[in-house]
Amino acid sequence: MFQQLKAHKAHDLHFKYDPASGLKAIIAIHDTRKGPALGGCRFIHYNSADDAINDALRLAKGMSYKAVMANLPQGGGKSVIMKPNGHFNRQELFTAFGHFVEELNGRYITSIDSGTSAIEMDIISQQTKHVTSTSHEDNPSIYTSQGVFEGIKAAVKSKFNQSNLTGITVAVQGLGNVGYPLVQALHHGGARLVITDINAEQLNHVATEFNAKAVPPDEIYGVECDVFSPCGLGGIVNNHTIQQFKCQVIAGSANNQLATAEDGLRLFERGILYAPDYVINGGGLIYAAMHHVDKPDEEIAKKTAEIANTLSEIFSASISQNMPSSEVADRIAQQRLYDESI
C-alpha cells in the first residue's frame, strides 16, 4: 500500500467500513499544498479492494493535475465506494459516507462522479458541508462539456488550421452527463457526428435527435473521423485501440484516457494530436471549486474559457519541442505542483 502511495506521490489514504450500511469506502488525497483536495465520489462495482485503491489513487492524482493546470487553489482527491452486490439502502450508505467525509475536517471536498448524482450529494450534505454538486447547484457536467467543446475547437485549429467545426467529423464515445450536451454543442457547431453508447436506447434517441450516425461500441475506434472524443470511462487509448484509430485528433472528457504514459508517445508518433484529459475536462472542477467559495458565474465562465488557451499553448509547445502533448502537460503540471518557484 505504501508503494502505491509512493508511486502516485499521494499524501494519504483513508478507509471506512460501516457494517450497518455496508459502506466500504476509500478516500485518496493526492496533494493539499494548493488547497483542500477536491474530487468526485465514484460508486461502482470493483473486482477487489486493490482495484478500488488503485482507481482512487490514479483519479486523485488526475484531480491534482487538473486543478493546477486550471490555476485553482485546490488539491486533488477522489473517493470510491465499492458498490454492494446485494441489496443495500442508498440513504443509509451515503449517510455513512457523509460522516466519513466530515471526519476529515475539510481536507477533502466531495462531488459527483460515475454512479453518483445530486441525489447522493444531498444525502451527504446532511452530514457535512464539505460537498458540492447538490440539487441546489448547477450540474458541473455542463461546464465539463463546455470546456471539452472549446478544447475540441482549439485542437481543430491547431491540427487543421480551421477556426470552426463546419464539416469536421467527430466520433463521440459515451452519451452520458457530458457526452450528451457535447453532442448537442457539436451538432449546433456544424460538426458531422458518429456516436456510440452501451445504452442502445440512449444511442438511438441521440442519433435521431442530432442526425448522427450510430455505431456499436466496439466499432467506434475504427471509425474514419477527424476527431475521436472519448466521454466514458478511462484507459481506452491503449496499444490495441491506437492501431485502430483513423482520426487525427483525440479530445474528450474521459478521465485517465491513456492506459499508460507510453500511449501518449504512440499517438505522437502516429501524428495524432492528443488533448491531455486533465486539461480539456477541467470545466466541472472549475465550476465546483469556484461555486463552492461563491464566485460569480461570470468568473466561472471566464475561467472555463481559458481551457482552450491552455491547450493551444500545449499544442504549440508540442510542435516546437517535438514532444508528445501528454508529456508537455505532465511537465507543466509537475513543475507547478512540486517546484515552489513556479
- Per-residue model confidence (pLDDT) at position 41: 97
Res 128 pLDDT > 90: yes
Q: 61-83 pLDDT, tens per residue?
A: 999 999 999 999 999 999 999 99
The C-alpha cell that represents 178 in the structure block = 457530458
Of 159, 134, 148, 136, the C-alpha closest to 248 is: 159
Q: 281-292 pLDDT, tens per residue?
A: 999 999 999 999
- Per-residue model confidence (pLDDT) at position 340: 46
Please give the average per-residue pLDDT across 6-21, as a whole number: 88
Round the average pLDDT of the chain to a whole number and report it.
95
User: What residues are annotated to the active site?
Assistant: 78
> What 3-state DSSP class applies to 286?
helix
Provide the pairing of β-strand 75-82 with 23-31: antiparallel
- Per-residue model confidence (pLDDT) at position 94: 99
Res 56 pLDDT > 80: yes
Assigned superfamily of 140-338: NAD(P)-binding Rossmann-like Domain (3.40.50.720)
Q: How confident is the model at residue 42 (pLDDT cuts 50, 70, 90)?
A: very high
- DSSP 8-state symbol, 223: -
The C-alpha cell that represents 179 in the structure block = 457526452
Terminal Cα distance for the chain, rounded = 31
Please give the average per-residue pLDDT across 35-47, as a whole number: 96
- Cα–Cα distance, 300 to 103 (Å, whole number): 29
- DSSP 8-state symbol, 246: B
Please give the average per-residue pLDDT across 22-51, as a whole number: 95
Q: How confident is the model at residue 198 (pLDDT cuts 50, 70, 90)?
A: very high
The answer to whether 177 is a known ligand-binding residue is yes
Cell numbers 476509500 label which residue?
Answer: 26
Contacts of 133 (CB under 8 A, 6+ apart): 40, 111, 112, 118, 121, 139, 140, 288
- Per-residue model confidence (pLDDT) at position 233: 82
What is each CA distance from 44 to 85, 161, 341, in whole angstroms? 10, 41, 40
Q: 129-139 pLDDT, tens per residue?
A: 999 999 988 88
Name the residue ranges covered by the structural domains of the chain.
2-62+72-125, 140-338
Q: 152-182 pLDDT, tens per residue?
A: 999 999 999 999 999 999 999 999 989 999 9
- Express as a percent the part of the chain with pLDDT over 90: 89
The answer to whether 174 is a known ligand-binding residue is yes
Please give the average per-residue pLDDT across 125-146, as a whole number: 93
The C-alpha cell that represents 30 in the structure block = 493526492
Q: What angle do CA 329, 333, 338 make, to 5 degrees?
A: 150
The answer to whether 211 is a known ligand-binding residue is no
- Per-residue model confidence (pLDDT) at position 225: 99
Q: What number does CATH give the domain 2-62+72-125?
A: 3.40.50.10860
Q: How many helices (H) and strands (E) does the chain have?
A: 13, 11
Query: Where do the DSSP E strands lie in 200-258?
Result: 213-214, 227-230, 249-250
Q: 214-270 pLDDT, tens per residue?
A: 999 999 999 999 999 999 988 999 999 999 999 999 999 998 899 999 999 999 999
The answer to whether 178 is a known ligand-binding residue is yes
The answer to whether 176 is a known ligand-binding residue is yes
140-338 shares the fold of 2-62+72-125 = yes
- Per-residue model confidence (pLDDT) at position 2: 77
- Per-residue model confidence (pLDDT) at position 268: 98
Q: How confident is the model at residue 309 (pLDDT cuts 50, 70, 90)?
A: very high
